[in-house]
Amino acid sequence: MSTMTSRWQLNACYTTEEIKQKLESLQQELDRFQTVQAPIRPQLVTLEQLKCQVEELSDFVYCLYAEDVSRQEVLDLLEQTDTLQASLQTGETFFEERLRTLSNDEWTTLQHEEASYYLTERRAIMERRLPAEQEQLIQTLAIDGFSAWEQLYEQRLTGLRLPLNGATVTIVQAWHQAVHGTTRIDRQTAAAAIAKTCAAAQDDFAMILNRIAGFRLQNF
């Protein structure tokens, strides 16, 4: 059975240079968001828009990485998106602190004007958070800590190569055959190859996952 070798054509959406420009632009907007004291309602709208843009761009960069894990410029973009995600979380903390200062009357009015479920959820999260300065410190340190471990996990996993049907394939291609192979033998062969390759790297993956779990336990 032949293995899947098709690739997405992501460059048709954005070039690498366009992504860099968008990342820089969003970073500037997030920095400005945390320094400009706008009225609470338009600030909520701005935060929602920024969040959508950051998530969309982060997902796109991850797709670029999944398409070709060997591209150094994409690894650089991944690091930039991690920084951007941390800035977004800091912006959310900044906004939550503003929610905390609202009077009961202001809070009630805002709930009537905007999506009350989202606001109630944010306020509930806010009550469980540490003081803003400590939350911002955690988010900053997570760039080279928690996020870095997650990125290393993805790099190690997607970088795995294994022999299958006389060719060297990626872990994703092997997984595709293990799940969608036309015969039981094809699926068993792919599954066995995946298990053997992953077993050889199990100590590395165990260490990475333990670090990720440790961060979550300490902070949440």
* Domain 10-135 top-level CATH class: mainly alpha
Who wins on pLDDT, 57 or 99? 57
pTM above 0.85, yes or no: no
Q: How confident is the model at residue 54 (pLDDT cuts 50, 70, 90)?
A: very high
Distance CA 52, CA 118 (A): 15
Q: How far is CA 185 from CA 134, 149, 168, 177, 179, in A?
A: 54, 36, 18, 10, 12
Cβ–Cβ < 8 Å for 126, 100: yes
Angle, helices 72-100/146-158, rounded to nearest 10 degrees: 150
**Residue 186 to residues 2, 73, 116, 175, 194, Cα–Cα distance (Å):** 10, 36, 52, 11, 12
Segment 65-75, tens digit of pLDDT = 777 767 778 87
pLDDT tens-place string over residues 67-112 = 776 777 887 888 888 888 888 888 888 888 788 777 888 878 877 7
Mean pLDDT of 15-24: 88
How do the domains of the chain map onto residue ranges?
Answer: 10-135, 156-219
Token pair for residue 213?
Answer: 């779990």
Give me 131's structure tokens.
């003081």
Please state, rounded to an integer, the average pLDDT across all residues of the chain.
81
Whether the per-residue pLDDT at 1 is higher than 50: the answer is: no
pLDDT at 5 over 60: no
Q: Dihedrals φ, ψ of 170, to 5°?
A: -80, 165
